[in-house]
Each structure stands twice: as structure tokens, then as C-alpha cells.
Chain A
Amino acid sequence: GDSVTQMEGPVTLSEEAFLTINCTYTATGYPSLFWYVQYPGEGLQLLLKATKADDKGSNKGFEATYRKETTSFHLEKGSVQVSDSAVYFCALGGGGYQKVTFGIGTKLQVIP
């Protein structure tokens, strides 16, 4: 079945450091790929998405590129802020309105 593997945290970075959170997936067909973010005490918010190979999703300074050849969707940000501290979930959807499968989540802590 479909699955998502992402690096386990926690990841601790200083403010303005470069962030990479690795994510790889296994799926049949051509899924859509997502990054969701969960701030403390809140629900899951869509951060960005990509629906086909070589698409780049971006939002709030975060980027991720759908790499079909390496089955990856790594999340990057050039300069993190304290307010980026949250749990980040990589996820894939089977297309259409099918369920979304989540990775385990990576906790990011940014210190001043």
C-alpha cells in the first residue's frame, strides 16, 4: 500500500538557519504530495502541495519539489524563524478525493 517515510525529529535549528526535512514515498500510480503543518495545540494546516512530477509547491518561504525519479518530496526553507516551530507532516493522496496517507511527522524547534 501507499506509504510515506520522513526523517524523525526533533530537529533543532537556530533562527535563520537552512531547513531540510526529508520525505520519500511509495505509491502506485501518480499521487499528489503534500506538506501539512501542526502548530502547538492546533489542527493540521496545508502548507504546500504538488500534483505532478517536477511540480514545486511553495508557501511562506517553504518549498518542496515532486521528484518522481527519487520518489521524494523534501521540504526546504532558506531561513527559519522561531514562529516556524511546529510538527511537519509529509503526506500523499491517491488522487481525486481519496484519503491522504501521512508520514510520522517531524518536530521542528527553532531557537533564537
Chain B
Amino acid sequence: EPEVTQTPSHQVTQMGQEVILRCVPISNHLYFYWYRQILGQKVEFLVSFYNNEISEKSEIFDDQFSVERPDGSNFTLKIRSTKLEDSAMYFCASSGGTGGSYNSPLHFGNGTRLTVT
């Protein structure tokens, strides 16, 4: 079964540094998402992306965050200047393959654990 893959699995960075989290969504999917989960807390929506633009973003997704689909396969999340409170597990998801149903569920990757020190 096709999978969403994320790299790296664990990223350690210093406060103020830029990080790029990478995702390869399922190949025929059209909708892409980033979520995060601070340790022990709920899974929070960050942003959704369709047709090469952001379709929705949450209050968490401020100017420090950006997303990009630089080629036909990758979907990246960039945090420009990391803060301690950005430490979390970041999940990429995709949905909506060609011919998929209107209520196509999200398929998640295994996540990237970001630790900001």
C-alpha cells in the first residue's frame, strides 16, 4: 500500500536556526497537510495545500512557517527561526487521489520529531 514518507525521523536544532522538514506524499494525491503534536498533547492542524497554494492555515502557522512543493513529489515545511516551543512531532498527510472519493481520509506519515535546544 502506498505510504507517506517523512525525513528525517528526528531533527535536533538550536533555537533561532532554520529547519526544513520533508515529506513525500502518496503519488496521486492532490491535497497535502502538516499537523503537529506537542508531546502528550493533541494533534493540531497547521496548514493545508492544494494546487500549489495554501488553502487553509491555523493561527499556529505564523510568518515563521512556510510550505512548498518544489517538485512533483516533495512537500516541505520550513520554520525560519525555531523557538523552544516549536519542539514537537510534525506529521505530514495527504489525501484526495485522482478518482478518490469526496470523503477521502488523510494518510499520515510517521512524523519528524523536532527538538529545539
* Chain A interface residues (CB < 8 Å from chain B): 32, 34, 36, 42-46, 49, 51, 89, 93, 95-105
Considering only CB atoms and an 8 Å cut-off, how many residues of chain B contact the other chain? 28
Check A97 against B56 for contact (C-beta < 8 Å): no
Check if A99 sits within 8 Å of B48, measured CB to CB. Answer: yes
Q: Is the interface of B mostly helix, strand, loop or mixed?
A: strand
Q: Are B95 and A34 in contact (CB under 8 A)?
A: no
A to B CB contacts below 8 Å, 20 in the list? A32-B103, A34-B105, A43-B108, A43-B109, A43-B111, A44-B91, A44-B108, A46-B105, A89-B43, A93-B103, A93-B105, A93-B106, A95-B103, A97-B30, A100-B105, A100-B106, A101-B45, A102-B35, A103-B42, A104-B41
A-B contact count (CB 8 A): 58
**A99 to B57 alpha-carbon distance, docked (Å):** 9
B105 touches A49 (CB 8 A): yes
